[in-house]
């Protein structure tokens, strides 16, 4: 593992092994007074960090302090308390920016919307939201998704299923969402989802970046900055990943500029550059930014690609994992599709968001997947001024606050004793409608002023893909294949999702 190539970290872990060799999990976590705090336990269990923290949060009534080494300034307050979540994200939002440590960890995001605050954040949010609200935006987006379903997703699934081979659904979803978000933003389809599964460095670069950033969270800053300085280990991997992503985006920008120049000189040349073209115009018209406008735009696009690609593909993967384990749920969703979508052989198989909105049971199953496996498992905040959380915990300017969404879905006091069960009915009212929960109870799309702008887009795309696959295919999980969360800031599957799909005899692609 690249992370352990740093000599300093090897010394760090060696001390841990010698000191804690015979200690059990509970003792390790509770002995906060030791020089390295509880961070060594976290590092040793990084491969199962999400479940480890969720278990301990349940033992600690939803909030506890993770002690780091005294020299690393790494103490972190983890919380799953919905009242704390609401307090930080909404009620006292101005007091909880992302903080200096967040900006250090996520420095590679530059001036992208997920990294900036204040006026720069307002500029980007206003600009992006204005485009999402345009009359034709939703129809353009849905057309892009359906085109990829028909020309990419279903043909690939059909070829593999006819051969009787198993397939990695997670990889297919990652390629699908990468193609659709690039087409939407850059008017360019990389065609990563095709029969030969081409290797695209930029696509892998996003995944490697997310894995590398998680390590930064649980490593003293001085250690990962040493790796960065020496260009080794995890930071070497991160540097290459960022370079691959930057090269891809810059090539797309160059292509857009080239066609734009031709359009100016030749009126017969036509171009449609997706969202980025109008964003260039609008962002240049905004005041308050004194830096390099090209870098500003690149950072924005990279952030949007990452958000549009990885969170959606992760949700789809966990959704099908849960549905595959629950064949009764699969059959109920399929029956709902047959009832409401009225698919006709040889007819139009495209369903818009309004029609898909009728699928209440599908929506409930999706909410359950988001509850148990939120695509972004945690959020990182810091307090500007000393404060007392609703749980009674005191925080100050040096407190790193981790809003732990993954643990929330596993809290008995929030969801009941059946919290580990996959129950779409949890989200359905007795009258048959959708049961809505506040965002601070299900913060899969964050909450407060920084609520995810692409929430509706993501849900629509997931439902389009899910309904298409479930209608045409039966899903069978490969029992021998281990399914575990990856060590990443996005909750991907460490080993992918291996399944066999069987074409339903009564339908045709």
CB neighbour list of residue 44: distance below 8 Å, 6 or more residues apart: 13, 16
Q: Record the tokens describing residue 428, joined without a space.
A: 């359905």
Sheet of 167-168: strand order equals 167-168, 498-503, 473-477
Cβ-Cβ contacts under 8 Å for 111 (sequence gap 6 or more): 120, 289, 291, 295, 296, 299, 300
Binding-site residue ranges for heme: 452
Annotated binding site: 452
- Crossing angle, helix 221-230 and helix 233-265, to 10 degrees? 70
Q: Minimal CA–CA distance to 407: which of 81, 93, 67?
A: 81
Cα dist from 421 to 319, 372, 406, whole Å: 13, 9, 15
Per the CB < 8 A criterion, the answer to whether 68 and 75 are in contact is yes
How far is it, in rounded angstroms, from Cα 22 to Cα 105? 33
Helix (H, G, I), strand (E, B) or coil at 357: coil
Distance CA 363, CA 410 (A): 20
Angle between helices 327-340 and 455-472 (to 10 degrees): 100
Q: Are 68 and 101 in contact (CB under 8 A)?
A: no
Residue 500 DSSP SS3: strand
How many Å apart are CA 28 and CA 164, to the nearest integer? 47
Which residue matches tokens 């199953």? 365
- 251: which 2 tokens? 């090539």
Q: Rounded to whole angstroms, how far apart are CA atoms 378 and 488?
A: 11
501/481 Cα distance (integer angstroms)? 15
In the three-class reduction of DSSP (H, G, I as helix; E, B as strand; rest coil), residue 191 is classed as coil
CA–CA separation, 346 and 72 (whole Å): 64
- Closest by CA position to 306, among listed 216, 212, 205, 215: 205
Taking the C-alpha atoms of residue 260 and residue 54, their distance in angstroms, rounded to an integer, is 51
> Where do the DSSP E strands lie in 324-445?
378-382, 387-388, 394-395, 400-404
């Amino acid at each position: 593992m690249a992370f352990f190539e740093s000599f300093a970290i090897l010394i760090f872990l060696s001390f841990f092994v010698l000191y804690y060799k015979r200690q059990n999990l509970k003792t390790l976590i509770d002995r906060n007074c030791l020089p390295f705090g509880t961070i060594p336990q976290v590092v040793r269990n990084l491969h199962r960090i999400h479940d480890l923290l969720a278990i301990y949060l349940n033992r600690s009534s939803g909030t506890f302090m993770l002690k780091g080494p005294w020299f690393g300034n790494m103490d972190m307050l983890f919380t799953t308390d919905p009242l704390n979540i609401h307090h930080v994200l909404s009620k006292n939002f101005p007091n909880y920016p992302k903080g200096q440590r967040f900006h250090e960890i996520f420095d590679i995001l530059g001036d992208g919307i997920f990294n900036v605050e204040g006026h720069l954040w307002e500029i980007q949010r206003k600009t992006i939201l204005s485009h999402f609200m345009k009359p034709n935006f939703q129809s353009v987006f849905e057309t892009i998704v359906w085109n990829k379903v028909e020309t990419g997703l279903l043909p690939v699934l059909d070829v593999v299923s006819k051969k009787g081979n198993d397939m990695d659904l997670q990889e297919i979803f990652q390629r699908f969402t990468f193609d659709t978000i690039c087409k939407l933003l850059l008017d360019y389809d990389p065609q990563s989802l095709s029969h030969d599964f081409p290797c695209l460095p930029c696509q892998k670069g996003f995944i490697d970046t997310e894995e590398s950033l998680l390590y930064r969270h649980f490593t003293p800053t001085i250690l990962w900055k040493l790796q960065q300085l020496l260009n080794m280990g995890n930071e070497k991997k991160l540097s290459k990943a960022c370079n691959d992503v930057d090269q891809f985006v810059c090539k797309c920008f160059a292509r857009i500029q080239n066609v734009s120049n031709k359009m100016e000189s030749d009126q017969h040349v036509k171009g449609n550059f997706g969202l980025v073209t109008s964003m260039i115009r609008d962002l240049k018209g905004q005041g308050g930014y004194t830096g390099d406008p090209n870098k500003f735009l690149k950072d924005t696009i990279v952030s949007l690609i990452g958000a549009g690609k990885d969170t959606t593909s992760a949700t789809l993967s966990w959704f099908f994992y849960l549905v595959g384990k629950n064949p009764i749920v699969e059959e109920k969703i399929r029956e709902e599709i047959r009832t409401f979508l009225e698919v006709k052989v040889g007819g139009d198989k495209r369903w818009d968001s309004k029609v898909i909105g009728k699928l209440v049971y599908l929506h409930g199953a999706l909410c359950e997947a988001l509850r148990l496996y939120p695509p972004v498992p945690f959020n990182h905040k810091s307090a500007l001024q000393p404060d007392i959380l609703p749980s009674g915990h005191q925080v100050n300017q040096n407190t790193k606050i981790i809003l732990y969404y993954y643990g929330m879905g596993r809290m008995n006091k929030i969801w009941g004793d059946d919290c580990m069960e996959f129950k779409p009915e949890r989200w359905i009212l007795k009258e048959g409608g959708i049961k809505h929960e506040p965002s601070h109870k299900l913060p899969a799309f964050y909450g407060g002023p920084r609520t995810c702008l692409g929430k509706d887009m993501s849900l629509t795309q997931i439902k389009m893909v899910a309904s298409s696959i479930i209608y045409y295919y039966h899903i069978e999980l490969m029992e021998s294949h281990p399914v575990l969360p990856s060590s990443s800031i996005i909750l991907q599957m460490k080993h992918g999702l291996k399944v066999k799909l069987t074409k339903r005899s009564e339908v045709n692609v």
